[in-house]
Structure 1
Amino acid sequence: MRPGVQARAARPDDLDDLVHLCMEARKESGMGAQLCTDDAERMRRQVGALLAVEGGLVLVGTLDEQPAGLLLARVVGPGPFTDATTLALEAVFVMHTARRRGLGHALLAAAAQAAEEHGAVEVYASPLPGARGMQRFLARLGFAPAAAFRVAGTAALQRRLAHDPAAVGPAVRRGAPRGLEDLIARRRQARAARQPGDDAITARHLHVERAVPAAHP
């Protein structure tokens, strides 16, 4: 780590600086709305909640004792479907004027230390699409693709679900024919209604009908 570069756990009195850094990150991103809110007071409450909640990790990166970067993360797991604990990186940002000084590395090193202390076996990061600099930075540190995320607005999703033809099912779209289970049940009822001799006659009749085409192509 270079002299004057430090990454430490955030304190409540760092909230103003953290909000300022979040706002700067939003301005720089082409997808600001997906990064964070533009309401500074709301941003303050959200970062404060992450700072206070169990498993929340908020780091401040300083350059010559001046806040110039941040890292937001959460310890996730174990949960209903996995026994593993992971560290999910929500955001990593360094001010443009403080880059290429080792501050990003210092923040990630502190996050890796926190992950180890919490028993997290992996560290996940989900940088926004188009954040090429962050993508390259994470790739240099060994982050590999793990999954593809998709996003949909709640209201738009509800509208699509309400008008999706697939939601009514294939049976309704084709005039509600019987399903496979109904078909099997009807056939069983039909067999039960026949006399014992009828089944033998029907079987011999089908055997003859199928044998005739084979004998005369």
Structure 2
Amino acid sequence: MAAAIEVRDARPDDAAALVTLWGEMSIGTGHQRALAAPTPASVRASIARLGQDPGARLVVGELDGHVSGMVYLRRTPISPLHAEETMTVEYLHVTDHARRHGLGKALVAESAAWAEHENCPYLGVVAPALAREANRFLARLGLGQAAVLRFAGTHTVRRRLAAEHAPNLLAMLSSRRSVIARRAQLGRHPDLTSPAEPESAGR
């Protein structure tokens, strides 16, 4: 008998299962090194927040009544220069014991269905570069590689940049922080006058 599959939006009582799925998914990836593991409480808060966001969904897949897969969907502009939107499919994961039963396909099918419903002509799936099986699975569905996503903490990148000893680099970074802070302040107090940006800004 074929396994029973159900795909639905995540609920607060899925929190413990989602924490387990995250732990499996993050092994060997940059997320495990850079992000703290979620807790059931933080997952429940995220589910509540996503419930108020019309442009995002956290979807789970059940196999025989057990939450065994997840995917995060976001509707985003395909680029800063195009009007079209893309459905970004992230954190797609199916637990080991539930693979080869059609659950991954069901999650991708739900992603494509929502993309069509939201008039998104493109589907973009983020997959770990080292996940060979997952990438072969996505390739069979017609998804080709378009980019490489690299992930690190902001402080790590700043430290590496400083280690390069580029002339005036630290001064430039400090200047950019000042400009960003000033713009944020202007957003809260529109009556303030903004000073000219430093020469290093944007270079």
State the Cα RMSD in Å.
2.6
**Number of aligned residue pairs:** 166
Residue aligning to 2:49: 49
1:37 aligns with 2:36: yes
Higher Rg:
1
Residue aligning to 1:81: 81
Matched residues in 2 for 1:67 and 1:35: separation?
26
Matched residues in 2 for 1:43 and 1:9: separation?
13
Cα drift, residue 43 of structure 1: 4.2
- After superposition, what is the alpha-carbon deviation per residue over 1:40-69, rounded to whole angstroms, capped at 9, x for unaligned? 143443454334322111111111122111
Note the 1:63-102 alignment, pairs <5 A: 63-77=63-77, 80-102=80-102
Q: Give 3-state SS (helix, strand or coil) of 2:147's partner.
A: coil
- After superposition, what is the alpha-carbon deviation per residue over 1:148-185, rounded to whole angstroms, capped at 9, x for unaligned? 2233432232234445454449xxxxxxxxxxxxxxxx
Residue aligning to 1:58: 58
Matched residues in 1 for 2:78 and 2:122: separation?
12
- After superposition, what is the alpha-carbon deviation per residue over 1:121-150, rounded to whole angstroms, capped at 9, x for unaligned? 111112122111211111111110111223
TM-score, normalised relative to structure 2:
0.70
Over the matched positions of the two proteins, sequence identity in percent amounts to 34
Matched residues in 1 for 2:157 and 2:113: separation?
39
- After superposition, what is the alpha-carbon deviation per residue over 1:26-49, rounded to whole angstroms, capped at 9, x for unaligned? 3xx212516853141434434543
Q: One-letter code of the match for 2:36?
A: T
Q: Give 3-state SS (helix, strand or coil) of 1:52's partner.
A: coil
Higher helix share: 1
Change (3 A) 1:153 1:24: closer
Change (3 A) 1:164 1:23: closer
List alignment gaps of at least 5 residues for structure 2: 170-203
